[in-house]
Amino acid sequence: MNKTYLESLLAENEAILLSTRRHWFLLFKDIALDCIVILILLVGSGILLMLNPLAAIGFVIAAIPLLDMIRHILDWMNRQFIITNRRVIQVSGVVNKNVTDSSLEKVNDVKLSQSFWGRLFDYGDVEILTASELGTNLFHFIGKPVSFKKMMMDAKNRLSDESGDGEGLQFKNVIKEQTIPDLIAELDELRIRGIVTQEEFQAKKKELLSRM
């Protein structure tokens, strides 16, 4: 099965948590004028065609706003904002693709901006401040920005917890490897001093070695 372009961007063990686009209101604003022009040309040409055959040229001219409308739709569909368990990715472009990503580990702060209409229709701008060379990534007019920010911060916290657990486990293992021989040495000293018997020393030594 062929991978989609988005799936081909993912690293091993990387999974998509959320994928969204710019709010549909932005698409509507971009294509509204095209729709009106197309409607006027089609209706006008249809009426005038009964009076003058040359009016059919209006149907040809209607192809211009139609192509512009298709361009806006394709641009909207191919501009995606993705959160994975490791990164935040922005993909744009229909033929020529542009990909910008920020590692969750390098995200320092996330700013959310919503106007009155943004809160009403659930869209806004999400600005990601990172420690990378890019510095700032701005996701403009994104749909459901509050949910997007929450998902991003949750993913960052989970990644931090996983990294912390790994470091903690490694630290515990180092402590274990360093202290067990010391404990055995202390037990041996107690055995020499007659505080513990040979049988007790061997039993405890076996138990400690099994923990390594």
Average pLDDT, integer, range 69-77: 94
The strands making up 87-92's β-sheet, listed across from edge to edge, are 16-21, 80-84, 87-92, 98-103
* Pairwise CA distance, residues 203 & 194, whole Å: 16
Tell me what the pLDDT averaged over the chain comes to.
82
Residue ranges per structural domain of the chain = 168-210
Q: Above 80 in pLDDT, residue 96?
A: yes
Indicate the pLDDT class of residue 37, thresholds 50, 70 and 90: very high
pLDDT digits (tens, 9 = 90+) for 146-186: 999 999 988 888 887 766 554 444 444 544 444 677 777 77
For 80, the 3-state DSSP assignment is: strand
Residue type, 210: S
Its pTM stands at: 0.65
* Pairwise CA distance, residues 12 & 160, whole Å: 18
